[in-house]
Structure formats: C-alpha cells, structure tokens
Amino acid sequence: MKNRLHDISDELNEISLKDLNQSVSEYEKKYNVTIAIQPISSNNDEFNGALRDSLNQKKVTLNKFWVTEDTIHRVKEGKKVSKIYDQGKLKSSFLVDFIEKDQHFILIGVSIVYLSEAVKIVNQFTISIMILLILILISMVWIWSKKITDPLKELKDISKEIAKLDFRKVDIHTNDEIEELAESINEMSEKLQVAHEDLNERNANLKRFISDITHELKTPLALIKAYSVGIQDGIDDGTYVETILKQTDQINHLIDELLALSRIERETLHIQEVDFIHLVNRCIQNYEIELNRSDITIHLDQNDIQQVFVEADLGQMERVINNLLSNAIKYTENNKIFISYKESEKEYLFHIENNTKFNNPERLQNVWEPFYVMEASRNKNMSGTGLGLAIVRSILNRHHLRHEVSLINGKIRFTIHFSKKYKEKPHL
Ligand SMILES: Nc1ncnc2c1ncn2[C@@H]1O[C@H](COP(=O)(O)OP(=O)(O)OP(=O)(O)O)[C@@H](O)[C@H]1O
Ligand SMILES: [Mg+2]
C-alpha cells in the first residue's frame, strides 16, 4: 500500500499545481485516494485545522491527525514524507504521503483497515465455517450410513428368517438399489412360500395317496387270501376260483390305472391340433354296443358349433373323453346322457351331464381326488378304482384347460373350457 502510494505521489508530483487543483476529484477517482491541497501557513494549528477541514469535506474524518512542524519543515525542503496515522478505535489507519508544490502542501492519503483485525475476522469466519462444514459432513455421513446400513441389516435379518422357512417381507423405501434388492427378496420370499406350501400339500397328498393305494390293495388281497384258505379247507362251492380271479383282475386294473396316472405326469406331450367335437363323436361310436346293451341314449346338442379346435395330445384327450363317458354310462340314474357345446365371446364350453342321486355340493369337488367314490355309486357296487377323474384332472391341468364339476337340477355336470383362438384353423 505504501509503495503504491509512493508511486501515486511521484506521478502527482509531475503535475502542475494548477492542473492538480482543477482536477483533484478526477485524480482521486483515478487512483482511489484522498487528495488535500493546503497552502503552507506559518501557524501550525491553523494549518492543521484547515487541512483537517478539507479532509472532513471529503468525508474523511480522522480522530488522530496532526502534521508536526518537523514534518512541514521536511516537506518544505522538497522531501517526500510518509506517515501513518493510527485511528485507534476506528480500527483503521490513514496512510499519507506529503509533498510540497509551489508553497502548497499536498496530502495524498489512503485509509487502510487494520489488516490483523480483518485477518482475525476472516480466520474466525473460516474456522466457524470449517467447524460447521465438518459437523454437516459428520451428520451427513451418519445419516447416509444409517440409510444404507439399517436397510442392509434388515435385509440380512429377513434372509436369515427366510432360511428358517419364515417367509416374511421387508418394507424398505430408500428409492435406490437397496429398495430394488428388497423388492427382489420379497418376490423371492413370496415364490418360495408358494413353492413350499405347494410342496407340503403335494407331500400330504402323496401320503394320503399311498395310504389309499395300500387300502385299495388290501381289500382284494384279503379276499384272495380268505378264498384261498377256503379252497385249502375244502369248502369251495365252485365259485371261489372265480372270485379270486375277479379280485386279481381288480388288482391288475388298479395297478394299470396307477401306472397310467404316474405316466401322465411324466409323459412328454405330443401336441397337435385336435378337433374336440370330432374326437367326442368318435369315442361315442366306440361305446355304441355298450350303450345299446344298457339301453342308454345320448342327447347331443352341438348348438350349430361345427368344430372346436384345441392344441393337445390326442391320446390323452381321448382318455379324458373316455373316462367322462364311461362314468356317465356307469352312473346315470335314468339311462340318459346329455352332451352339449356352448359358445361365448372368448371360449367354447363342453358339457357332459347325467342324472345323479348325489346332492351334497360341498363334497362334490372330492370326485377329482384319487380313490374317491361317492356313497351312492359305492352302494351300487359299480365304481371302479376311483382314479378315472384324478387322471382327467391331471391331463386337463397339463393342457391348461379350465374344467369344473357342478350339480344342476339333480344332474352332475362336467365342463371343459376351450379358448377360441384356434377357431379359424382348418380341421386336421
Ligand atoms: N357321471 C357321474 N355321475 C355320477 N357320479 C359320478 C360321475 N362321475 C364320477 N362320479 C362319482 O365320482 C367317483 C369318482 O369317479 P372316478 O371316475 O374317479 O372313479 P370310478 O369311476 O369310481 O373308477 P374308475 O374311473 O377308476 O374306474 C365315482 O366313484 C362316482 O361316485
Ligand atoms: Mg370312472
């Protein structure tokens, strides 16, 4: 600052007093300094007063300012004198250069704020800002780590619980990859739960199935044993061997059906386009002799529907129709069977129905279960192994064909739904 002031005063020294007087304010503006010009007077007090007044006019109020006689003397000798006036409480200093020109005393001054004060303030400010920043940083790190670690901990806990087959779900909304991970874990948990329940159900079914098989086998075996002992004891009335053969046939039939059921689950499907109506008609023809013998009539109502196409395994579809037909023939109460086709916007419906004495809708769904035989038919002693409808269900499920059984006005009705998407395809 001092050097700059010296340079400025050197430059101003080159300018004539007249020029300087004329354009004081311009020079002040140019160099950003205060310039005061005062004729040197013999009275030092007056001189200082006048100088201070002219400074005051320029809005420079100094509480400590005094030009000593010695200074005036040295300036008069043509020397350039520099002074610094500490303004004490104002926390600033007034740095001046005095030069003399044509009996005039020229003051070039600049006010400088205490640097140490400024530095102190800046330092304090910096330190406070730094502390604040560090605090903000620490709290942000804490918040972020909490935001990440807490959900991760929750995910770890949930994974452990899933491992223990407790299929819970997490509720994490972090709007980031952790939330996506939580959603995937939830989805996994849900699927695992479904799979687990399905497995449990299959296990229970399998157990029941095995116990049913055992039971179904035990009855004819016990009979075979009893009749064999009868023959051994010589009490055979001539019918014993026939009974034994009948029971053996029954066991054979049961085993055949069981094998068929298990094969259906594993067998690869040979899918082709099948005209269901055509297939049903062919199956009915095969039963013609039996129908005539039992004096059973089939009432067929195609409702103007000519073809119903389905992508299916022909052999398995035939099995479905034969099982439904043979049941209807076996269990009809009035020697009538009704087969009809209906059409809705999206699908075709196939109905096969016959009169029945069975009137317990709650137990109706049991007909799909293996070995289930309704009381009414058991009494009549005409039921078979009870596997026919289980096979039907298994085949239809494999083909994703919706099906159901219902009781309507004393009739039992089996329905199969066919999607219409093959409607336009040609007959194979
Ligand atoms: N059309 C029907 N009318 C009346 N009852 C039926 C009919 N279809 C099935 N049922 C009842 O459902 C039971 C189960 O039928 P399903 O075809 O599975 O076995 P099943 O006919 O007894 O023996 P299988 O078919 O193995 O020779 C039957 O025993 C019968 O009681
Ligand atoms: Mg049957």
Sign, Cα dihedral of 295, 301, 307, 310: negative
Cβ–ligand 1 contact at 405 (below 6 Å) = no
Which among 268, 187, 208 is positioned nearest to 195, based on CA atoms? 187
Q: What is residue 222's three-state secondary structure?
A: helix
Tokens of 172: 């994490």
Residue 61 has pLDDT above 50, yes or no: yes
Inside any domain, residue 258: no
Could you tell me if 188 and 315 lie in one domain? no
Task: Looking at the structure, tell me whether residues 201 and 290 fall in a common domain.
Answer: no
pLDDT confidence of residue 266? 84
Q: pLDDT of 174-191, one tens digit each?
A: 888 889 999 999 999 999
Give the domain-ending residue among 113, 128, 148: 113
Instruction: Please list the residues that pair with 414 across neighbouring strands.
Output: 352, 405
117 has a pLDDT exceeding 80: no
Separation CA 387–CA 369 (nearest Å): 8
Give alpha helix (H) positions in 287-424: 288-294, 314-331, 361-364, 375-380, 388-398
Residue whose C-alpha is closest to residue 223's, from 246, 257, 253: 246
Kindly report the number of other CB atoms within 10 A of residue 143's CB atom: 10
220 and 301: one domain?
no
The confidence score (pLDDT) of residue 382 equals 60
Question: CA dihedral in degrees (144, 145, 148, 152; nearest 10)?
Answer: -170
* CA of 390 relative to ligand 2 center, distance in Å: 9
Tell me: do 127 and 197 sit in the same domain: yes
Residues 278, 418, single domain; the answer is yes
CA 101 – ligand 1 centroid, Å: 135
* Best residue for ligand 1 mutational test, from 327, 355, 365 (most atoms within 8 Å of Cβ): 327
- The reply to whether 279 and 363 lie within a common domain is yes
| Residue 377: predicted pLDDT | 59
- The CATH number for 376's domain is 3.30.565.10
331 lines ligand 1 (CB under 6 A): yes
Residue nearest to atom 4 of ligand 1 (CA): 331
The answer to whether residues 215 and 319 belong to one domain is no
Residue whose tokens read 């409480």: 89
Query: Residue 380's pLDDT band (boundaries 50, 70, 90)?
Result: very low
Q: What is the pLDDT of residues 194-216, one digit of tens each?
A: 999 999 998 998 888 888 888 88
Residue 79 lies in a domain: yes
Residue nearest to atom 9 of ligand 1 (CA): 327
Are the beta carbons of 347 and 419 closer than 8 angstroms? Answer: yes
The residue nearest atom 28 of ligand 1, judged by CA position, is: 373
Q: Are 386 and 403 in the same domain?
A: yes
178/280 Cα distance (integer angstroms): 56
In terms of phi and psi (left: phi > 0; alpha: psi -120 to 50; beta: otherwise), the region of 78 is left
355 CB less than 6 Å from ligand 1?
no
Instruction: Tell which one of 253, 323, 389, 391 to mutate to probe ligand 1, the residue whose CB is within 8 A of the most ligand atoms.
Output: 389
> What's the CA-to-centroid distance between 303 and ligand 2, angstroms?
27
Judgement on whether residues 90 and 122 belong to the same structural domain of the protein? no
Residue range 231-261, pLDDT digits in tens: 999 999 989 999 999 999 989 988 988 888 8
List the domain range (segments joined by +) for residue 126.
Answer: 116-236
Q: What is the CATH number of the domain that holds 83?
A: 3.30.450
Q: What is the pLDDT of residue 78?
A: 84
The answer, yes or no, to whether any atom of ligand 1 lies below 6 A from the CB of 412, is yes
State the Cα–Cα distance between residues 99 and 36, nearest whole angstrom: 11
